[in-house]
Amino acid sequence: MKSWTGLAALLLLTVCSAGEEAADADDLAEQDWEEITAAADGAEIGIYMWGGDEGLNAYIDEVVAPALEESYDITLTRYPMEAPEFLSRLRTEREAGSMDGTADILWINGENFRIAKENELLYGSFADLLPNMDAYVNEDAPYVETDMGIPVEGMQVPWGNVQYAFQFRGDAEPPETMEELFSWAEENPGAFTYPNVSNDTGAGFVRHVMHHVADDPEILETFDEEWLEENGEDVWRILRELQPHLWREGRTYPETLEQQDQLFSSGEVDVTLGFNEYRAESLVDQGTFPEDTQTVGLESGSIASTHYLSMPFNTTEPEAALTAINYFLSPEAQTAKLDPERWGEGHILDLDALSEEENDAIESLSGEEIVPQETILPELDARYVDWIQENWEQEVVQQR
Amino acid sequence: MSSSVKSWLLALPVLLFMAVFAAQGLYRAWLESVQVDGAGLFSAYTELLTGRTFWASFGISVYVSFISAVLSVVIGLWLVRLLHRYFLRDDWKLAVWFPMLIPHFAAAYLTVLFFSPGGWFASVSASAGLDGFPILVNDPLYIGVILTYLWKEIPFVVLMLLPVYQELDWRMEEAARSLGAGAWTRFKTVELPWSGPVLLEVWLILFVFMLGAYEIPVLLGVTYPSMLPVLAFEWFYQAGWSQRPLAQAMMVVLTAISAFTAFLLLYIIQRSRRRWLRGGMRA
Structural domain span for residue A354 = 23-161+306-368
Is the domain of A217 the same as that of A262?
A: yes
Min mean pLDDT across A266-270, A372-376, B100-104, B168-172 is at: A372-376
Please indicate whether, in this complex, the C-beta atoms of A255 and B140 are within 8 angstroms of each other. Answer: no
Nearest to A221 by CA among A347, A348, A350, A110: A110
A177-203 mean pLDDT: 91
Which residues on chain B place their C-beta less than 8 Å from a C-beta of chain A? 20-21, 24, 52-53, 116-118, 135, 138, 140, 218-219, 221-224, 234, 236-243
Nearest C-alpha in A relative to B226 = A252
ipTM of the prediction = 0.74
Interface check for A111 against chain B (CB to CB < 8 A): the answer is yes
Q: What is the mean pLDDT of chain A?
A: 85
Contact residues for A259 (Cβ-Cβ < 8 A; gap 6+)? A195, B219
How many C-beta neighbours within 10 Å does residue A322 have?
25
Same domain, A28 and A175: no
Give the one of A85, A390, A394 whose C-beta lies nearest to B239's C-beta.
A390
- CA-closest candidate to residue B220, choices A248, A242, A240: A248
% residues pLDDT > 70 (chain A):
93
Please report, as a single letter, which amino acid is at residue A183: S
Concatenating the DSSP letter of every residue in A244-256 gives: GGBGGGGS---SS
Whether residue A17 is contained in a domain is answered as no
3-state secondary structure of A343: coil
Q: Are strands A293-296 and A156-169 parallel, antiparallel or unpaired?
A: antiparallel
More confident residue, B87 or A57: A57
Nearest-CA distance A206 → chain B (Å): 14
What is the per-residue pLDDT across B149-158, written as a single tens digit (0 to 9) for each? 999 899 999 8
Residues of A in contact with B215 (CB under 8 A): none
Domain annotation covers residue A69: yes
CA dihedral sign of residues A280, A284, A285, A287: positive
Report pLDDT for A326. 92
Answer yes or no: are the C-beta atoms of A347 and A334 closer than 8 Å. Answer: yes
Please count the residue pairs, one from chain A and one from chain B, whose beta carbons lie less than 8 angstroms apart.
59
Q: A96 to chain B: which residues are within 8 Å by CB?
A: none
Whether the link from the prior residue into A189 is cis, omega within 30° of 0, is: no
Task: Answer yes or no: is pLDDT of B180 > 50.
Answer: yes
In order of A102, A249, A382, B176, the CA distances from A328 in angstroms are: 20, 43, 25, 80
- pTM assigned to the model: 0.79
B20 contacts A111? CB cut-off 8 A: no
Which chain B residues are closer than 8 Å to A82 by Cβ?
237
Instruction: Work out the minimum CA distance from B237 to partner chain A, whole angstroms.
Output: 6
Please report whether residue A8 resides in a domain. no
Number of Cβ within 10 Å of residue A206's Cβ equals 24
**A155 and A91 in a common domain:** yes
Distance of CA A311 to the CA centre of its chain: 15
Residue A129 included in any domain: yes
Contact A260, A193 (CB under 8 A): yes
Backbone Cα Rg of chain B: 23
Domain B41-282 class in CATH: mainly alpha
Of A396, A388, A393, A371, the residue nearest A207 (C-alpha): A388
Q: What is the CATH number of the domain that holds A202?
A: 3.40.190.10
Residues A360 and A388 in one domain: no
pLDDT number for residue B69: 93
The model's pLDDT over B224-251, given as tens digits with 9 standing for 90+, comes to: 888 988 988 888 887 777 778 888 888 8
Tens-digit pLDDT profile for residues B251-263: 888 888 888 888 8
Indicate whether A1 belongs to any domain: no
Question: Is the CB of residue B115 less than 8 Å from the CB of residue B147?
Answer: yes
Mean pLDDT, rounded, for B191-202 = 83
Q: At what angle do helices B228-237 and B244-282 cross, to 10 degrees?
A: 160
In this structure, are A121 and A132 located in the same domain? yes
Chain B contact for A395 (CB, 8 A cutoff): no
Rounded Cα distance between B133 and A395, Å, is 31
CB contact under 8 A, B240 and A88: no
- Asked if the Cβ–Cβ distance from B237 to A252 is below 8 Å, we say no
Query: Are the Cβ atoms of B118 and A251 closer than 8 angstroms?
Result: no
Domain check: are A62 and A132 in the same one? yes
CB atoms within 10 A of CB A253: 26
**Chain B interface includes A84 (CB < 8 A):** yes
Buried b (16+ CB within 10 A) or exposed e, A17-35: eeeeebbebeebeeeeeee
Does A14 map to a domain? no
pLDDT in tens, B1-59: 567 788 888 888 888 888 788 888 888 888 777 776 666 777 778 777 878 888 889 99
pLDDT attached to residue B177: 80
Cβ of A198 within 8 Å of Cβ of B218? The answer is: no
Exposed, middle or buried: residue B179 (CB in 10 Å: 0-12, 13-18, 19+)?
exposed
Are residue A334 and residue A318 in the same domain, yes or no? yes
Residue B138: which of A252, A394, A397 has the nearest Cβ? A252
Cα B244 to chain centroid distance, Å, stands at 26
Same domain, A99 and A208: no
Q: Where does chain A show beta strands of DSSP type E?
A: 44-49, 75-80, 105-108, 146-147, 150-151, 156-169, 271-275, 293-296, 302-310, 376-377
Residues A360 and A381 in one domain: no
Q: How far apart are CA B137 and CA B113, in angstroms?
A: 10
Domain locations along chain B: 41-282
Tell me if A259 is assigned to some domain.
Answer: yes
What is the mean predicted confidence (pLDDT) over A184-194?
92
Overall number of domains in chain A? 2
Residue A12 lies in a domain: no
Say if residue B283's pLDDT is above 60.
Answer: no
Are A339 and A212 members of one domain? Answer: no
| B117, B223, B238 ranked by CB distance to A252: nearest | B223
Q: Are residues A354 and A385 in the same domain?
A: no
Residues A186 and A289 both lie in one domain: yes
